[in-house]
Amino acid sequence: MKKIGPFAYSLILVVLICCGTVLIKGDSPEELIVGKWEEVDWNFERINVDSTEVNGNLLAYQKNELYNNMIIHQGEEWEFCPKKELTLTPKDHSEEKKIKWYLKGRGNILELRYGDNVVESYQVHKLTKDTMVIYYNFDLQMRGSVKITFKKVEEQDYAQKI
Q: What is the pLDDT of residue 4?
A: 73
Q: Could you tell me if residue 7 is inside a domain?
A: no
pLDDT tens profile 104-129: 988 899 999 988 888 888 999 999 99
pLDDT at 7: 74
Biggest distance spanned by C-alpha atoms of the chain: 77
Phi, psi of 114 (to 5 degrees): -90, 165
Domain contains 10 = no
Give domain status of residue 38, yes or no.
yes
Average pLDDT over residues 121-145: 81
Q: What is the pLDDT of residues 58-73, one digit of tens each?
A: 556 555 555 555 666 6
Residue 100, pLDDT > 90, answer: yes
The CATH number covering residue 77 comes to: 2.40.128.20
Confidence of residue 81 (pLDDT cuts 50, 70, 90): very high
Amino acid 61: pLDDT: 59
Q: Which helix (H) or strand (E) is 21 found in, with range? A: helix 4-25
22 — pLDDT class (breaks 50, 70, 90): low
Domains in the chain, number: 1
For the residues of 96-158, what is the DSSP string, one character each?
-EEEEEEEETTTTEEEEE-TTS-EEEEEEEEE-SSEEEEEEEE-STT-EEEEEEEEEPPPPPH
Mean of pLDDT values over 63-85: 74
Q: What is the mean pLDDT of residues 5-22?
A: 74
Nearest alpha carbon to residue 73 among 89, 94, 57, 56 = 89
Residue in 132, 113, 121, 110 with CA at minimum distance from that of residue 38: 132
Residue 23, in any domain of the structure: no
Which H or E element spans position 44? strand 35-45
Query: Considering the chain, what is the average pLDDT of its residues?
Result: 77
Per the domain annotation, does 9 fall within a domain? no
Residue 102 lies in a domain: yes
Is 65 domain-assigned? yes
Spatial distance between the Cα atoms of 111 and 123, rounded to a whole number of angstroms = 9
Domain range for 51 is: 28-153
What is the amino acid identity at position 56?
G
Give the burial string for 78-113 (b: 16+ CB within 10 Å, else e): bbbeeeeebebbeeeeeeeeebebebeeeeeebebb
Residue 127 lies in a domain: yes
State the Cα–Cα distance between residues 102 and 83, nearest whole angstrom. 10
- Read off the pLDDT band of 86 (50, 70, 90): very high
